[in-house]
């Protein structure tokens, strides 16, 4: 296991994960966790779970486990964008954030005004784009993709919890 240090945070990663997560994305992930959990010192420890194609981390501090970070990619109109879903230990969304968006069209999905709709949601909640989750004019593809991705994260986390993997 390799330790990657960013200021006061230690990101624990296996060497193969280090190759897949760029330094820029690692820094954005660090910032999202630090601001969302209002903590300076924490560890992100990767979980190896067979149901997860992306990156799943436990977030912990000296006080114990703070939750989970799910780092994934979703489709926009022509490119993929990177996002993180931060979850409580009870598997409810603490925050969803678009970390790197690679197109000019559809950037509205990165606004916290739209993303805050996901806060507090769990696997039993209906996340229907255009229903419970507001549609965004000019960002339909990205917003649908983000909504679907968040729902899939919740379902994967619930499946891992049911299997006793987390």
User: Which two three-digit tokens encode residue 152?
Assistant: 């899939």
What is the number of domains present in the chain? Answer: 1
Give per-residue pLDDT as tens, 46-94: 987 666 677 999 999 999 999 999 999 999 999 999 999 999 999 999 9
Domain with 31 in it:
2-163
Its pTM stands at 0.86
Spatial CA neighbour of 42 closest among 71, 2, 8: 8
User: Tens-of-pLDDT digits for all 166 residues of the chain?
Assistant: 334 444 434 444 333 344 478 999 999 999 999 999 999 999 999 987 666 677 999 999 999 999 999 999 999 999 999 999 999 999 999 999 999 999 988 889 999 999 999 999 999 998 999 999 999 988 999 999 999 999 999 999 999 999 988 8
Structural element, H or E, at residue 20 = helix 15-20
Q: Nearest to residue 17, comparing CAs of 8, 28, 26?
A: 26
């Amino acid at each position: 296991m390799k330790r990657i240090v960013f200021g006061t945070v230690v990101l624990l990663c296996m060497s193969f994960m280090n190759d897949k997560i760029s330094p820029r994305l690692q820094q954005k992930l660090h910032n999202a966790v630090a601001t969302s959990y209002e903590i300076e010192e924490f560890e992100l420890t990767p979980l190896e779970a067979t149901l997860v194609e992306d990156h799943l981390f436990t977030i912990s501090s000296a006080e114990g486990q703070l939750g989970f970070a799910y780092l994934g990619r979703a489709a926009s109109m022509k490119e993929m964008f990177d996002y993180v879903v931060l979850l409580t230990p009870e598997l409810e969304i603490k925050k969803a954030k678009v970390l790197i968006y690679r197109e000019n069209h559809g950037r509205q999905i990165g606004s916290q005004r739209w993303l805050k709709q996901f806060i507090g949601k769990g696997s039993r909640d209906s996340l229907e784009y255009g229903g419970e989750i507001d549609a965004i004019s000019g960002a339909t593809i990205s917003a649908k993709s983000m909504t679907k991705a968040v729902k899939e994260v919740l379902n994967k986390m619930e499946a891992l919890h049911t299997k006793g993997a987390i």
